[in-house]
């Protein structure tokens, strides 16, 4: 049913008309009169009550609810909003005098971006740099959850903790797997899939269960196939990724439990991480003569980094998409001369068990 709303003036005019109709004589309802003042005070209360009624009406429907009203609405069905996730990835810690000593990098040691705005802590350690070895790859996670931790390659360059035997730090690859709390629109969409897949033991039910474990998770379900690729009737394999290309064991275990709750009876399954395809790219562009090439190259690199970092499991990286991203990144791009992926001119990825992640992105002038 369509709800008809009235403005303050509409309410006052309606009251004035009703008062005149009910009165046996003409009543002064002009501005400033006592009767007009009484009617306007009543109209103010009526307008407030109308607002409250609309608030109640909106909160009784998921499509029109927002914020905490959505949380309480879906909570009645056992569903909760997914929290923000911290970005993670690898940094390279190195020494200027590797032969002189070894180094131990403990869990909790901190590194920061060049401007000091985002801090990361070492996880999955401790890590050791043996004497004579220049560098060691270390996994770090942002201290603050959300997209704030999604930083471009080369932006982590400061040590927040003093580590003997470590002088330099850098992230060779951008971090892209941080996510803000689930939005209202995303929660509404997930609720529909959640309800539609309850007690169905279908591929949709399995996908929904896995994607409800954490924000930013993508997956593919491969039926009648074991993790090693052999055909096994009644066995299915779930390949999942959290955006890092190497989901931690705790996340895989959580997904395993979620799938176990919705899988078909009598079936067997495994939840595994993807095979990572590292895409080294070269983009050759021509730009407007008035533009600064370094600025254009940085914009293209950021756009490509973000796009590739968001590719789900099983999605291919297409050359034509890189071309489109280069044009969209800057109006100064007049021509994309060529794009190569790992030195070739073919798309990468596209298999159900793989995920494509960005390696070295080189933007050069044509």
Residue 214 lies in a domain: yes
Q: Do both 125 and 157 map to the same domain? A: yes
CA distance 57 to 55: 5
Burial of 78 (0-12, 13-18, 19+ CB in 10 A): exposed
The domain boundary residue, chosen from 153, 170, 187 = 170
Alpha helices in 23-111 (DSSP H): 34-59, 68-75
pLDDT at 359 over 60: yes
Split into its structural domains, the chain has a count of: 4
Residue 334 contacts residue 256 (beta carbons within 8 Å): no
Higher-confidence position of 189 and 200: 189
CA distance 309 to 306: 5
Q: For 162-186, how does the pLDDT look when each residue is reduced to its tens digit (9 = 90+)?
A: 888 898 999 888 888 888 998 999 8
Residue 182 lies in a domain: no
The domain boundary residue, chosen from 226, 245, 272 = 272
Residue 129 contacts residue 93 (beta carbons within 8 Å): yes
pLDDT at 272 over 90: yes
Average pLDDT over residues 286-300: 88
Residue 47 lies in a domain: yes
Size of the chain in residues: 366
DSSP state of 254: H
The domain boundary residue, chosen from 245, 272, 299 = 272
Residue 48 lies in a domain: yes
Average pLDDT over residues 310-334: 91
Q: Do both 103 and 163 map to the same domain? A: yes
Q: What pLDDT is attached to residue 64?
A: 80
Q: Do both 137 and 118 map to the same domain? A: yes
Residue 316 lies in a domain: yes
Q: Do both 260 and 304 map to the same domain? A: no
Q: What is the pTM of this model?
A: 0.61
Beta strands in the chain (DSSP E): 88-94, 103-105, 110-113, 119-122, 127-129, 135-142, 156-159, 168-170, 218-225, 231-241, 268-272, 275-287, 316-317, 333-341, 348-349, 354-365
Q: Do both 350 and 331 map to the same domain? A: yes
Residue 66 lies in a domain: no
Q: Do both 228 and 290 map to the same domain? A: no
Residue 207 lies in a domain: yes
Q: For 79-106, how does the pLDDT look when each residue is reduced to its tens digit (9 = 90+)?
A: 889 889 999 988 999 988 888 788 899 9
Average pLDDT over residues 116-143: 90
Range of the domain at 15: 8-60
Residue 230 Rama label (left phi>0; alpha psi -120 to 50; beta): beta
Residue 169 contacts residue 105 (beta carbons within 8 Å): no
Q: Do both 131 and 151 map to the same domain? A: yes
Residue 81 lies in a domain: no
Return the residue matching tokens 């005070």. Answer: 41
């Amino acid at each position: 049913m369509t709800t008809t709303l009235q403005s303050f003036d509409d309410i006052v005019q309606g009251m004035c008309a009703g008062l005149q109709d009910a009165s046996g004589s003409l009543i002064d309802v002009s501005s400033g009169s006592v009767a007009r003042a009484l009617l306007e005070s009543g109209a103010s209360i009526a307008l407030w009550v109308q607002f409250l009624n609309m608030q109640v009406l909106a909160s009784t429907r998921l499509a029109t609810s927002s914020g905490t009203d959505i949380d309480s609405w879906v909570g009645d069905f056992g569903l909760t909003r997914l929290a923000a996730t911290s970005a993670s990835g690898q940094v390279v810690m190195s020494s200027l005098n590797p032969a002189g000593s070894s180094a131990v990098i403990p869990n909790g040691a901190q590194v920061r971006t060049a401007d000091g705005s985002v801090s990361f802590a070492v996880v999955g350690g401790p890590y050791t740099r043996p004497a004579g070895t220049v560098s060691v790859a270390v996994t770090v996670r942002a201290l603050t959850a959300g997209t704030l931790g999604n930083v471009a390659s080369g932006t982590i360059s400061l040590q927040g903790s003093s580590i003997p035997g470590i002088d330099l730090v850098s992230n060779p690859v951008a971090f892209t797997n941080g996510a803000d709390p689930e939005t209202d629109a995303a929660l509404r969409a997930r609720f529909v899939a959640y309800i539609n897949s309850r007690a169905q033991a279908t591929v949709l039910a399995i996908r929904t269960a896995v994607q409800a474990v954490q924000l930013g998770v993508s997956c593919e379900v491969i039926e009648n196939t074991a993790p090693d690729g052999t055909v096994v009737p009644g066995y299915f394999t779930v390949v999942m990724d959290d955006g890092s290309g190497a989901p931690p064991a705790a996340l895989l275990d959580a997904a395993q439990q979620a799938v176990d709750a919705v899988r078909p009876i009598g079936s067997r399954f495994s939840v595994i991480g993807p095979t990572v395809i590292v895409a080294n790219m070269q983009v050759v562009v021509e730009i407007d003569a008035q533009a600064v090439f370094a600025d254009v190259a940085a914009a293209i690199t950021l756009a490509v980094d973000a796009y590739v970092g968001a590719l789900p499991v099983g999605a291919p990286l297409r050359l034509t998409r890189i071309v489109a991203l280069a044009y969209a990144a800057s109006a100064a791009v007049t021509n994309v001369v060529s794009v190569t992926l790992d030195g070739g001119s073919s798309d990468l990825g596209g298999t159900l068990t793989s995920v494509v992640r960005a390696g070295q992105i080189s933007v050069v002038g044509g």
